[in-house]
Amino acid sequence: MEIVESREDNALVKYESLEAVSSRDGYGIVAILLFVILISMTLMLVYVPWQQSVSGAGKIIIFSPMERPQNIEAQIPARLRHWYVRDGQVVKRGELIAELSDLDPKFLDPEQTKRLKSQMQALTARRSAAEARHGALAKQLESLKRSQNAALPSAKERAQQAKDRIWAAEQGVEAARQNTLTTKLNLDRMKDLHEKGLRSKRDLELAELDQTRALTDLERSQAALQVAKRDATVAVLDQDKVAADTDAAMSNIAAAMAAAQETIESTSSEIFKLDIDLQNVSARLDQRKVYAPSSGKIVRLLKVGAGETVDAGMVLAVIAPETQDLAAELIISDNDAPLVAVGRPVRLQFAGWPALQFSGWPSIAVGTFGGRITVIDAIDDGRNNYRVIVKPDKEAIAKGKDEPWPDARYLRPGAEVSGWIMLDTVSLGFELWRQFNAFPPTVKPEELGLHKEPQGEKTEIKRKSK
């Protein structure tokens, strides 16, 4: 019996060893699965695409500088008199939101504008009177010039006539002198003939009478010549007097016109200065009232309570204009800055909007919004970071490929935003290899400005250098 049991034990041990080294179907299946997984992973690494990206974080901003939140400042040192708005109130452009009381003593007089206008009216009337006087004097001067143009030729003509009378008187004197000589010769002949008894005493007396008449005519002609000369002198003096009188009169009128013109100019200068003062006072009065610079919502009031004093330039309130011109401001590092360019697509995740973003597969992202790079800062912010501004991808939104950004009522400026700037598409294996080796993402050379120079140009440059 013991021998039989020993044989059975040996047989049992033999079967257990055989079972331990024999193959099982389960192990084969596992091996096949591992092989399939390995092949699948290899194919995925080679053929599955991966979208490279650069991530950044920032906030929502308003792109247009004229529509960004702005401070409403006091333009003058004043005392707060009354608020017409409250926090969160919607206002229109030009709507009165506050009223101030001026503290400058030069502008405290409530009747200052009225008095300045009265002075303006008085100066305007004075200038009008001076202009009227200047016009009347100009007409007088014109009339005097016409009178001078007529009087001077007349006086000149009278002087010429006087000269002609002198010439006529000189001719008369010469004729009288010749007549005197003739009568004297005749008288001498008569005396000789009378002594010889050839002529009567009567003939001698007649000859003496002719001589006396001739002498008288000579004296009369000489006197007439002297009178003609004196008349000529008087005529020349009259001509000079007419010219001098008219010149003096025109000089007086010109002086009066200059005085009137001086009055006009000085009055105009005073009116100009007064007009500036009036405009300053009017502008100062307008500055006491604070108006909304644009349509929007009052964010907060910084100065409250009637009677609180403010200085010029002090912020009274903050207003957020109504706008839909939103943009995302992302901050990226200097290592990533060379890889991005204007026009690159961006996926954005806004704070408050649940989203799931796969950086390598943006097509399966959920809750993100599309955009395009619009601006890249040319310089850093002092900390080796660069700002990138992203605006909505209007083309993709118009084609229905992407959702429009949320309304500005819900997506407010200052909200946090995360972004992924899409770069080139590579294989999944290449991306893993790049990540393991800490290499930067790949970008096409032309996008980095690395254009390959043609061989011909290089040869030409070398020839020139030689």
The answer to whether 69 and 321 are in contact (CB under 8 A) is: yes
The side-by-side arrangement of strands in the sheet containing 289-291 is 289-291, 96-102, 78-83, 309-310
The CA-atom distances, in angstroms, between 304 and each of 87, 126, 202, 316 are: 11, 50, 143, 9
The CA-atom distances, in angstroms, between 230 and each of 162, 208, 226, 241 are: 9, 33, 6, 16
The single residue listed with the structure tokens 């979208």 is: 51
pLDDT at residue 151 in the model: 61
The single residue listed with the structure tokens 């943006």 is: 362
Helix, strand, or coil (residue 409): coil
Highest mean pLDDT among 147-156, 309-318, 423-432: 309-318
Distance between first and last Cα of the chain: 112
pLDDT at residue 442 in the model: 64
* Segment 309-323 mean pLDDT: 88
Instruction: Select the CATH number that applies to the domain covering 51-64+323-427 from these four: 2.40.30.170, 3.40.50.300, 1.10.510.10, 1.10.760.10.
Output: 2.40.30.170
The string of pLDDT tens digits covering residues 198-254 is: 777 777 777 777 778 777 877 777 777 777 777 767 666 666 666 777 777 778 888
Distance CA 83, CA 95 (A): 12
Please tell me which residue, 462 or 410, carries the higher pLDDT value.
Answer: 410
pLDDT at residue 384 in the model: 92
pLDDT at residue 17 in the model: 52
* Segment 159-185 mean pLDDT: 76
CA dihedral 202, 203, 204, 206 (to 10 degrees): 90
Report residue 215 as tokens: 């002498």
Query: What phi and psi values does residue 215 have, to the nearest 5 degrees?
Result: -65, -40
Distance CA 338, CA 18 (A): 68
CATH topology for 69-95+292-320 is OB fold (Dihydrolipoamide Acetyltransferase, E2P) (2.40.50)
> For the domain 112-286, what is the CATH superfamily, name and number?
Helix Hairpins (1.10.287.620)
Where do the structural domains in the chain lie, given as residue ranges? 51-64+323-427, 69-95+292-320, 112-286
The side-by-side arrangement of strands in the sheet containing 70-73 is 70-73, 315-321, 296-301, 90-91
Distance CA 460, CA 466 (A): 10
* Segment 184-197 mean pLDDT: 76
User: How large a percentage of the chain has pLDDT more than 90?
Assistant: 16
The string of pLDDT tens digits covering residues 248-273 is: 777 888 888 888 888 888 888 888 88
Distance CA 28, CA 31 (A): 5
Confidence band (pLDDT; 50, 70, 90) for 365?
low
* Segment 338-348 mean pLDDT: 89
Question: Considering only CA atoms, which of 154, 164, 163 is closest in space to residue 241?
Answer: 154
Residue 51: in which H helix or E strand, if any? strand 49-62
The answer to whether 396 and 371 are in contact (CB under 8 A) is: no
The string of pLDDT tens digits covering residues 451-462 is: 444 444 443 333
The CA-atom distances, in angstroms, between 400 and each of 68, 167, 364, 393, 421 are: 29, 119, 16, 11, 21
Distance CA 422, CA 55 (A): 9
The string of pLDDT tens digits covering residues 95-104 is: 999 988 887 7
Question: Considering only CA atoms, which of 428, 434, 454 is closest in space to residue 339?
Answer: 434
* Segment 73-77 mean pLDDT: 88
pLDDT, averaged across the chain:
77
Highest mean pLDDT among 163-177, 194-208, 410-424: 410-424
pLDDT at residue 391 in the model: 95
Please tell me which residue, 111 or 62, carries the higher pLDDT value.
Answer: 62
* Segment 178-182 mean pLDDT: 81
Please tell me which residue, 376 or 187, carries the higher pLDDT value.
Answer: 376
Query: What phi and psi values does residue 96 have, to the nearest 5 degrees?
Result: -70, 125
pLDDT at residue 291 in the model: 93
* Segment 147-151 mean pLDDT: 65
Q: What is the 3-state secondary structure (H, E, C) of 53-94?
A: EEEEEEEEEECCHHHCCEEEECCCCEEEEEECCCCCCEECCC
18-22, 79-83, 410-414, range with the lowest pLDDT:
18-22
pLDDT at residue 96 in the model: 93
Distance CA 134, CA 260 (A): 6
The full DSSP string for 413-451 is TT-EEEEEEEEEEEEHHHHHHHHHTTPPPP--GGGGT-P
The single residue listed with the structure tokens 């596992």 is: 30
- Beta strand 78-83 with 96-102 is antiparallel
The CA-atom distances, in angstroms, between 458 and each of 162, 449, 455 are: 106, 18, 5
pLDDT at residue 4 in the model: 44
pLDDT at residue 1 in the model: 44
